[in-house]
Amino acid sequence: MSEFIQFHFLTSYPPANLNRDDLGRPKTAVFGGTQRLRVSSQSLKRAWRTSDVFATALTIGTRTKEIGNYVFKALVEKHVTETDADVIAKKVAAVFGKSKAKADDPATDEPEKASVPAVAKKGGRKGSAAEGAPQNPEEGRKTEQLAHISIGEKAAIDQLVQRVADKGIVTEPDYQALLSDGHGTPDIALFGRMLAASPKHNVEAAAQVAHAISVHRVTVEDDYFTAVDDLNDGSEDVGAAHVGTSEFAAAVFYHYVCVNRTLLIESLNEKPALADETIKSLLTACCTVAPSGKQNSFGSHARASFLLAEKGTQQPRSLSVAFLRAVEGPDILGSAINALTETRATMDAVYGKCADKIATFNAHGAKGEGSLQAVLTELGLQQASNA
């Protein structure tokens, strides 16, 4: 039976554009028949994973398309010829994903495309055979998709680089041996990974992160702004040097995160202490780290004002239904806290106890109630250590 730890927290952001769509506008969603502001789970996970909170407590993996270029530069620095380094780098990249070198190499295309004379490809028009060719060698050493490389895999790559530099023999099986199961790396265990070229090395995510949504209806607004030229004395042109618009909105968000602690321990090679340190870091990041989108323009850093944490073997459930009806009134945050706690109590009344342990903190109002440290202690995470 799996043990779950669930986080429900409310965070209020001032005017911001934390997570943009393809038009540069804050992301939204229709929920309960009204438009809400939204921050995607991908944006949240990226902010938490790359935060100082994670960097201080955990050693995490490397998520990149650039592993081939990393190998190439490391080999060249160790005085391997660029020609040999390029070949080896492309082979390493191909282990972790479909290589752009293969995707763009005319020799690997269909026969009729491969037979086009090289002279016809050089400087070809848009849409010709030349269009797919890499514009520089670095592109050919990239993978088409991001690869999440574990701590052990990164160490194995570094060892292979050193072996090449020492004139050691590297065979094809050595390249395939670089790929491991990915276990033992906290962020891979938490958020999972998919390697389409090698499904047996996929890792199921132990953490499920919902898109954050505002608890109230939101209208995205436009910010009209200008920039002034410092060297323009206004004698000839008194207009602005630049005029633009930027979209923004302010909201109180409901966040929901569920961690399967049992699966996390399994994916961390049966290390409960490391699993608890990982959960501790995740919860701390959830409450203290904001997405980085447009922060230089808005400075919209915020911390969670309310947290409800639950631990138990019961089937997880989100409490987003608390906000199906948009919160209104002069105290939206206070009303949202009441709606969340009442919904949890109602769920318990209908379904029975939904968690074995419950811990909260409340930073809203005249004085705070509880603390993040107290919640960590109640969940058995305060003394966690990855040692």
List per-residue pLDDT tens for the chain, 387 residues long.
999 999 999 999 999 999 999 888 999 999 999 999 999 999 999 999 999 999 999 999 999 999 999 999 999 999 999 999 999 999 999 999 887 655 455 444 433 333 333 333 334 444 444 455 556 889 999 999 899 999 999 999 999 999 999 998 899 999 999 999 888 999 999 999 998 778 889 999 999 999 999 999 999 999 888 888 888 878 878 888 888 888 999 999 999 999 999 999 999 999 999 999 999 999 999 999 999 998 988 999 999 999 999 999 999 999 999 999 999 999 999 999 999 999 999 999 999 999 999 999 999 988 899 999 999 999 999 765 544
Q: How far is CA 158 from CA 30, 150, 179, 237, in A?
A: 48, 12, 13, 58
User: Of 84, 131, 72, 126, nearest to 103 (Cα)?
Assistant: 131
Residue 46: its H or E element: helix 41-49
Contacts of residue 346, defined as CB under 8 A and 6 or more positions apart, other chains included, come to none
Instruction: Write down the pLDDT at residue 114.
Output: 32
Distance of alpha carbon 283 from alpha carbon 279, whole angstroms: 6
User: Of 259, 269, 284, 303, nearest to 384 (Cα)?
Assistant: 284
Instruction: Write down the pLDDT at residue 82.
Output: 95
Neighbours of 158 (CB within 10 A): 13
- Hey, CA dihedral for 83, 84, 89, 92, is it positive or negative? positive
Q: Where are the beta strands (DSSP E) in 207-316?
A: 207-209, 212-214, 221-227, 242-260, 304-312
Buried b (16+ CB within 10 A) or exposed e, 187-202: bbbbbbbebeeeeebe
Instruction: Write down the pLDDT at residue 237.
Output: 82
Quick check: 338 and 332 in contact, CB under 8 A?
no
Distance of alpha carbon 281 from alpha carbon 283, whole angstroms: 6
SS3 (DSSP) at 103: helix
Instruction: Write down the pLDDT at residue 161.
Output: 97
Q: What is the maximum alpha-carbon separation in the chain?
A: 77
Domain spans in the chain, listed from the N-terminal domain onward: 4-60+204-218+247-378, 64-184
User: Of 278, 244, 307, nearest to 8 (Cα)?
Assistant: 307
Contacts of residue 382, defined as CB under 8 A and 6 or more positions apart, other chains included, come to 280, 373, 376
Crossing angle for the helix pair 67-77 and 82-96, to the nearest 10 degrees: 150
Polymer length of the chain: 387
Instruction: Write down the pLDDT at residue 116.
Output: 30
Distance of alpha carbon 323 from alpha carbon 316, whole angstroms: 18
Quick check: 375 and 293 in contact, CB under 8 A?
no
| Token pair belonging to 86 | 């390029």
Instruction: Write down the pLDDT at residue 109.
Output: 41
Distance of alpha carbon 286 from alpha carbon 171, whole angstroms: 44
